[in-house]
Amino acid sequence: MSVLSVKNLIYGYSKGTPFEKGALKGVSVDFRKGEIVAVIGHTGSGKSTLLQHLNGLLKPDSGEVLFDGKSIYESKETLRKCRFNVGLCFQYPEQQLFESTVYKDIAFGPTNMGLSAEEIKKRVHSSIDYVGLTEDYLDKSPFDLSGGEKRRVAIAGVISMEPKVLILDEPTAGLDPLGKNNLLKLIKDYNEQTGNTVIFVSHNMDDVALVADRVIVMNDGEVALDGTVDEVYSQGEKLASLGLDVPEITSVFIELNNAGFDLGHTEYTVEGAKNAILNSLSKGGAV
């Protein structure tokens, strides 16, 4: 069932100036309930522009954005409903922390939703827990935290609104491998425990392979590929032609196949690659 969908979205930046640029050229996508979708594409491919349409931050020049089957621009109420249900976390969200304590910062969204004080408190506590920080962080100033901690607080601020669709624009950018893995786990946990949809942008194909159910590849303002991780990643050469880095293991496979070893379709994980190689060796004789 689709929870959020866009139909024939067209959007251009700097209209009427010499810098006019078509950012989205007729994009249609259905986001289904409960799936983790990764949106990838090189810089300028339109992926951030697409995300900003999903909760009405940008209004399309033409085309529709539907939340729960209804156009979000139908009335003030539908737009408001969309804003509360589609939580958007920008790139470097830690730059948007502004309150004096972590508690107040996380409570900002739920407070604006008009929830009761008790419910707000409950949500602040559960979301700080979600992002893997302890409750003694709540009284600290967000500005005393490390970069990785700040980012998690910022994400907690969005999760506290319990959005039906959580959108994260490059959530792992600038994090070290450990911080990155923690954040990917958070995405997976939020999805599994709430059954809500998560959409995230990433440049890292290995990260995408770890958590995503579905991958959408954007190129030049259009959807170039859309499918499961397997379906998309097995097209290693096409990905490379779209200016994307294929996962390291995929390039190993492309090179092995080019060198005349027939190992079948491209693998993208160490585990999968190991099995494929063992398989081919055992067919060819004893290892």
Query: Which is nearer to other proteins, 109 or 221 (by Cβ)?
Result: 221
Query: Which is nearer to other proteins, 114 or 285 (by Cβ)?
Result: 285
Side-chain half-sphere CA neighbours of 68 within 13 A: 13
Q: Do the Cβ atoms of 169 and 48 come closer than 8 Å?
A: yes
Smallest distance from other proteins to CB 148, Å = 6
**Per-residue tokens: 3:** 């929870």
Give dist(CA 55, CA 50) in Å, integer. Answer: 10
Ramachandran assignment for 70, one of left (phi > 0), alpha (psi -120 to 50 degrees), beta (any other): beta
Binding residues for other proteins (CB under 8 A): 42-44, 146-148, 173-179, 203, 206, 243-245, 247-249, 251-252, 254-256, 259, 261, 270-271, 273-274, 277-278, 281, 285, 287
Query: Which is nearer to other proteins, 8 or 275 (by Cβ)?
Result: 275
Query: Which is nearer to other proteins, 62 or 275 (by Cβ)?
Result: 275
Query: Which is nearer to other proteins, 47 or 83 (by Cβ)?
Result: 47
Query: Which is nearer to other proteins, 24 or 256 (by Cβ)?
Result: 256
Smallest distance from other proteins to CB 238, Å = 16
SS3 63: strand
Q: Do the Cβ atoms of 273 and 253 come closer than 8 Å?
A: yes
The C-alpha angle with vertex 133 and arms to 132 and 137, in degrees rounded to 5, equals 170
Smallest distance from other proteins to CB 183, Å = 12
Smallest distance from other proteins to CB 33, Å = 30
How many Cβ atoms are within 10 Å of 203's Cβ, its own excluded?
16
Smallest distance from other proteins to CB 74, Å = 36
Q: Do the Cβ atoms of 201 and 49 come closer than 8 Å?
A: no
Smallest distance from other proteins to CB 153, Å = 16
Beta strands in 100-196 (DSSP E): 165-169
